[in-house]
């Protein structure tokens, strides 16, 4: 029996090459199919940041097959959570969505040593997000 995901999450950063890709990788890895995961960028890069790929691989999470994608209105509309990471005003706003802005350093042009603390901060934020999604799902089942 397949069940619908508890929530849909869209991660947005400028290039969709570092922070948003690491966040999507963590959420997919930690929540599995319980949460639908998307990522996009307001000005997508050519490829995922190799240092981000290496930093995630150190934790056994492979994001090497991901490609930066352009942010679309449809992706925002289809998401319950829209989590921005420095995309500024490029992110469209729709009522009824939960918007979070995560203040994270940009890993662009950084080596893996500089990306590790960003990766670890993202992991903590993702764990908190999963806890929030699970709590909301449990509350809605009780009512």
What confidence tens digit (pLDDT) does each residue in 83-129 have? Answer: 999 766 666 677 888 999 999 999 999 999 999 999 999 999 999 99
One of 22, 52, 91, 115 is an active-site residue; which one?
91
- pLDDT for 141 equals 79
Based on the residue annotation, tell me whether 15 is a catalytic residue of this protein. no
Q: At what angle do helices 50-57 and 112-142 cross, to 10 degrees?
A: 70
Based on the residue annotation, tell me whether 87 is a catalytic residue of this protein. yes
The 98-101 sheet, strands edge to edge: 35-41, 7-13, 81-84, 98-101
Alpha helices per DSSP H over the chain? 19-31, 50-57, 73-77, 112-142
Helix (H, G, I), strand (E, B) or coil at 3: coil
- pLDDT for 4 equals 81
- pLDDT for 117 equals 98
One of 23, 55, 56, 87 is an active-site residue; which one?
87
Q: Is the pTM of this model over 0.95?
A: no
For 64-95, how does the pLDDT look when each residue is reduced to its tens digit (9 = 90+)? Answer: 999 999 999 999 999 999 999 976 666 667 78
Helix (H, G, I), strand (E, B) or coil at 2: coil
Judged against a pLDDT cut of 50, whether residue 1 lies above it is answered with no
For 12-33, how does the pLDDT look when each residue is reduced to its tens digit (9 = 90+)? Answer: 998 999 999 999 999 999 999 9
Mean pLDDT of the chain: 91
- Following DSSP, what letter does each residue of 18-50 receive, concatenated? SHHHHHHHHHHHHHGGGEEEEEEESS--SS--H
Give me the domains of the chain, ranges plus CATH numbers: 7-142 (3.40.50.2300)
Based on the residue annotation, tell me whether 79 is a catalytic residue of this protein. no
One of 12, 13, 14, 133 is an active-site residue; which one?
13
Residue 110 contacts residue 37 (beta carbons within 8 Å) = no
Helix (H, G, I), strand (E, B) or coil at 10: strand
Q: Where does the pLDDT of residue 131 fall: very low under 50, low under 70, confident under 90, or very high at 90 and above?
A: very high
């Amino acid at each position: 029996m397949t069940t619908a995901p508890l929530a849909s999450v869209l991660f947005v950063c400028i290039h969709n090459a570092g922070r948003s890709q690491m966040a999507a990788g963590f959420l997919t890895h930690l929540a599995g199919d319980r949460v639908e995961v998307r990522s996009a960028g307001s000005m997508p890069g050519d490829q995922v940041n190799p240092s981000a790929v290496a930093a995630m691989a150190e934790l056994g999470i492979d994001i090497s097959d991901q490609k930066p994608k352009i942010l679309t209105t449809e992706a925002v509309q289809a998401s319950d959570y829209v989590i921005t990471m420095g995309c500024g005003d490029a992110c469209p706003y729709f009522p009824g969505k939960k918007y979070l802005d995560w203040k994270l350093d940009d890993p662009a042009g950084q080596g893996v040593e500089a990306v590790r603390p960003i990766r670890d901060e993202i992991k903590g934020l993702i764990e908190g997000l999963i806890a929030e999604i699970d709590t909301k799902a449990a509350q809605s089942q009780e009512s």
